Amino acid sequence: MAAHNELGRKGEELALKMLRDKGYTILEHNWRLNGLEIDIIATKGKVIAFVEVKTRSDDQWMYPEQAVDAKRKIRMSIAAKAYVRHNRIDLDVRYDIVAIVWNQTRCEIEHIEDAFLPPMRTYSSRGVRYYS
């Protein structure tokens, strides 16, 4: 396994533990559908959180959360809508980011709740338009 893949796997394990420790129930980990993926799907109270985990070995160039670009937000939104619809979820939807910087001297983890709102209009890979 490539070093960056191993770092990402460790980051997701750490994020799962942190969310459980904060009282979240993990519904899915690395959920996939038609080329879309959500790292973690979790609930707490009346909220379902779709969580993107970003792990970096160094924050010299950018913070991990800055790597969640517009394209990733659109893809997450499409996947979340599909998950909610398919599973008939009746909870408030939230998009979170868990940002992790992990190197030899430190490990910093930050859970950013309600990190972004879904785009007003999103498109699937087949060009189908979805409205929020």
Q: What is the pLDDT of residues 95-119, one digit of tens each?
A: 999 999 987 777 899 999 999 998 7
Query: For residues 99 and 88, what is the distance between their CA atoms, to the nearest angstrom?
Result: 29
Backbone dihedral angles phi then psi of residue 121, each to the nearest 5 degrees: -130, 135
The model carries a pTM of: 0.85
* The predicted structure's pLDDT at residue 115: 95
Which helix (H) or strand (E) is 38 found in, with range? Answer: strand 36-44
- Paired tokens of 100: 């992790």
Q: What is the pLDDT of residues 53-108, one digit of tens each?
A: 999 887 667 788 988 998 999 999 999 999 999 999 999 999 999 999 987 777 89
Q: Does the domain made of 3-131 have the CATH classification 3.10.290.10?
A: no
Average pLDDT over residues 34-54: 96
Query: For residues 7 and 110, what is the distance between their CA atoms, to the nearest angstrom?
Result: 16
131, pLDDT greater than 50: no
- Paired tokens of 77: 């939104």
